[in-house]
Amino acid sequence: MKIRDLFGHSDKTFSFEFFPPRDEVSAVDFGINVGQLIKLNPSFVSVTYGAGGSGQEKTFTLVDFLQNKIGLTTMAHYTCVGSNREKIFNDMQYLQKLGIENLMLLRGDPPAGSVSFQAPKDGFSHASDLIRFVRDNYDYSIGGAAYPEKHPEAPTLEEDIGHLKEKYQSGSDFLITQLFFNNEAYFSFVKLARERGINCRIIPGIIPITSYAQINRFANMTAAHIPHELHEKLEEYKDNPDKIYQAGIDFSIGQCRDLLEKGAPGIHFYTLNKSRAAVEVFESLNL
Ligand code: FAD
């Protein structure tokens, strides 16, 4: 099923994001965790594409498994990294043959050590170019990435939203946001996007907080602002993993409830291939 068609049936979608397991031991762990999450009957699931364009085969193998063996509506992530037009065209054909109908199309990050992104020869520099190319050649339902607190490379949020508009006009059916902890940032971002004529669903991407190290790592990676109250709690409990876990889950539950009550069109959970926290947060929402 195409994700854009799901929107006609439900005003909110709930989805889980996975990454391909690195080895056989992680694959077993992955199977157990996915088993728990599937019981929640997600609207769709998504599988990331290796940073630096690596691990592409693992992404394709996993989307095939989730879509065809488990029967879930599955979205494959795909980036501009390491692909020219011919390869992109062929990869899209391959995914189509697998029965994949949904793509999250991204630029990808520059390789470690470089500050700017270099387009591959005969490839693309921006997600919007990749989206337009795929839209012109295939009938996928396409998602793009959005950054309520601005993409780290963008000089201003205004400029970033200008480029987001190009992504929307190129053919994105929906957008999923980078993780954030401050709902005000999300709602004011959606308002700005609407003012700029971006009218598709902007689904908040949420990471359930489970540990002190995890939250700091992700906040640094994405430049997501940690609200003062949450920061204080995390500092207070930083040497007590159980208390951090509970405070983190309580925060995530409150964050999701607030988003949904104020009209967000669902939640996309960054699961990190772990089920416990996502299940606890999801179940507490009484959907
Ligand atoms: P773009 O939309 O191209 O934007 C990147 C930067 O370029 C922004 O600063 C933007 O303002 C600017 N820009 C855009 N268009 C133009 C233009 N025409 N002229 C000048 N500047 C422009 N990474 C992976 O490697 N694999 C994944 O599976 C993956 N999944 C993700 C899923 C989600 C929901 C999100 C939010 C991110 C994901 N990422 C993934 C990370 C993503 O690849 C990086 O954030 C990357 O740095 C930007 O990708 P983008 O598609 O947003 O790029």
- Output the average pLDDT for the chain: 95
Q: 154: Cβ below 6 Å to ligand 1?
A: yes
pLDDT of residue 286: 85
Which protein residue has the closest C-alpha to ligand 1 atom 9?
154
Which protein residue has the closest C-alpha to ligand 1 atom 2?
127
150 CA closest ligand 1 atom index: 9
Which protein residue has the closest C-alpha to ligand 1 atom 13?
163
Which protein residue has the closest C-alpha to ligand 1 atom 10?
160
Q: 264: Cβ below 6 Å to ligand 1?
A: no
Mutate to test the pocket of ligand 1, among 56, 83, 106 (most ligand atoms within 8 A of CB): 106
- Segment 181-223, tens digit of pLDDT: 999 999 999 999 999 999 999 999 999 999 999 998 998 888 9
In terms of pTM, does the model score above 0.95?
yes
Percent share of the chain, pLDDT over 70: 99
How far from 148 is each of 6, 63, 72, CA to CA, in Å? 24, 28, 28
Q: 270: Cβ below 6 Å to ligand 1?
A: no
**What are residue 274's DSSP bridge partners?**
none
Q: What is the mean pLDDT of the segment spanning 10-22?
A: 95
How far, in Å, from the CA of 102 to the mean position of ligand 1? 18
Q: 176: Cβ below 6 Å to ligand 1?
A: yes
Q: What angle do CA 236, 238, 240 make, to 5 degrees?
A: 100
pLDDT of residue 192: 98
- Segment 65-119, tens digit of pLDDT: 999 999 999 999 999 999 999 999 999 999 999 999 999 999 999 877 777 899 9
Q: What is the mean pLDDT of the segment spanning 142-161?
A: 97
Which protein residue has the closest C-alpha to ligand 1 atom 3?
126
- Segment 154-165, tens digit of pLDDT: 999 999 999 999
pLDDT of residue 54: 62
**Domains of the chain listed by start with CATH number:** 3-284 (3.20.20.220)
- Segment 216-244, tens digit of pLDDT: 899 888 899 999 999 999 999 999 999 99
| 52: pLDDT strictly greater than 70 | no
pLDDT of residue 198: 98
Q: What is the mean pLDDT of the segment spanning 135-164?
A: 97
Backbone Cα Rg of the chain: 18
Mutate to test the pocket of ligand 1, among 114, 125, 159, 163 (most ligand atoms within 8 A of CB): 163
How far, in Å, from the CA of 232 to the mean position of ligand 1? 31
Q: 107: Cβ below 6 Å to ligand 1?
A: yes
How far, in Å, from the CA of 87 to the mean position of ligand 1? 20
Which protein residue has the closest C-alpha to ligand 1 atom 43?
108
| 174: pLDDT strictly greater than 80 | yes
> What are the residue numbers of the active site?
17
